[in-house]
Amino acid sequence: MPAKGKADFGSFPEYFFSPACLVFKIKNMKVFVNNEAKEFDGKRTVSQLIEVLGLSRKGMALAVNNAVVSKSDWEKFKLNENDKVTIIKATQGG
For 12-55, how does the pLDDT look when each residue is reduced to its tens digit (9 = 90+)? 444 444 455 455 445 789 999 999 999 988 888 999 999 999 99
Quick check: is 11 in a domain? no
Task: State how far the Cα of 44 lies from the Cα of 76, in Å rounded to an integer.
Answer: 9
Quick check: is 34 in a domain? yes
Q: With 0-12 CB in 10 A as exposed, 13-18 as middle and 19+ as buried, what is 45?
A: middle
CATH number at residue 53: 3.10.20.30
Average pLDDT, the chain: 81
Quick check: is 94 in a domain? no
Please name the residues in contact with 29: beta carbons below 8 A apart, sequence gap of 6 or more.
Answer: 39, 40, 41, 42, 43, 44, 79, 80, 81
Quick check: is 78 in a domain? yes
Find out whether 79 and 31 touch, Cβ atoms under 8 Å: yes
Quick check: is 20 in a domain? no
pLDDT of residue 2: 53
Query: pTM higher than 0.85 for the full model?
Result: no
pLDDT of residue 28: 85
Task: State how far the Cα of 43 lies from the Cα of 81, in Å rounded to an integer.
Answer: 8
Quick check: is 13 in a domain? no
> What is the domain extent for residue 39?
27-89
- For the chain, the domain total comes to 1
